[in-house]
Amino acid sequence: MKIKILTLFPNMYNGFLSESIIKRAIDKNLVEFEIIDYRKYSNDKHNHVDDTPCGGGAGMVIRCDVIDRALKDNTNNNTYKILLTPQGNVFNQKIAFDLSKKDEIVLICGHYEGFDERIRSYVDSEISIGDFVLTGGEIPAMAISDSIVRLLDDVIKEDSFMDDSFSNGLLEYPQYTRPIEYNGMKVPDVLLSGDHKKIENYRLKESLRKTYLRRKDLIDKKELSKEEKKLLDEIKKEESI
């Protein structure tokens, strides 16, 4: 897979690409990154990529001609083009899975007041990482790239992410490790029992419990199995006490 990032601040990616799982994936040729400074596509002698908003107002707006030239020079018919904007669809695990199947994507990072509206006609989708505003799209591009890369074949073991929060529509079950007891807090006995069926049932129930208590909206969206409904009824009774 190839991930291209159009940005005004390419140096922000130095650490991101040289550490941890991302670096290992690059070294194993499982993913290729290309960081492109779209300031070089300015036709202004001062390399300006923005201008004042038509109709007046505060801030500066990224020019559509600059982004158009950058996309023409760095994409092809197979490139999936993504505009990073707080007005986009909120990123989630399903979108990450879908994007991990693409051969090539380009992430377009905004800055300043925003994008010229006409830039939207050059992209395939618009993505936001949440209902808040950042100074630019660089951090969202890192977050999205990280979530995609970990899903690629052979980057990490599949069973390391299959139970992640949101992978099955629920928050992940509680995790524990040694020491078995610390400051009066003990690892649940069932996790030490060696009974895989009981452990599986415990994890499902606690995953449902955590989701019910913290993100009821996810419960409402999920089509629960008969077993999950039974466990959820138990949880509601336990939590009402």
| Angle, helices 138-149/20-27, rounded to nearest 10 degrees | 60
Sole residue written with tokens 């801030």: 59
CATH architecture of the domain with range 181-239: Orthogonal Bundle (1.10)
Instruction: Write the pLDDT tens digit of every residue in 141-197.
Output: 999 999 999 999 999 987 666 666 677 889 999 999 999 999 999 999 999 999 999
| Count of other CB atoms within 10 angstroms of residue 233 | 10
Q: Are strands 50-51 and 61-62 parallel, antiparallel or unpaired?
A: antiparallel
CA atoms within 13 A on the CB side of 135: 2
pLDDT by residue (tens digit) across 59-99?
Answer: 899 999 999 999 999 999 999 999 999 999 999 999 999 99
Cα distance between residue 171 and residue 36, in whole Å: 36
Q: Which CATH superfamily is domain 2-158 in?
A: SPOUT methyltransferase, trefoil knot domain (3.40.1280.10)
**Calpha distance 111→115 (Å, rounded):** 8
Fold matches, 2-158 and 181-239:
no
Domain segments of the chain as ranges: 2-158, 181-239
- pTM, whole model, 2 decimals? 0.88
- The residues annotated as belonging to the active site are 86, 113, 150, 164
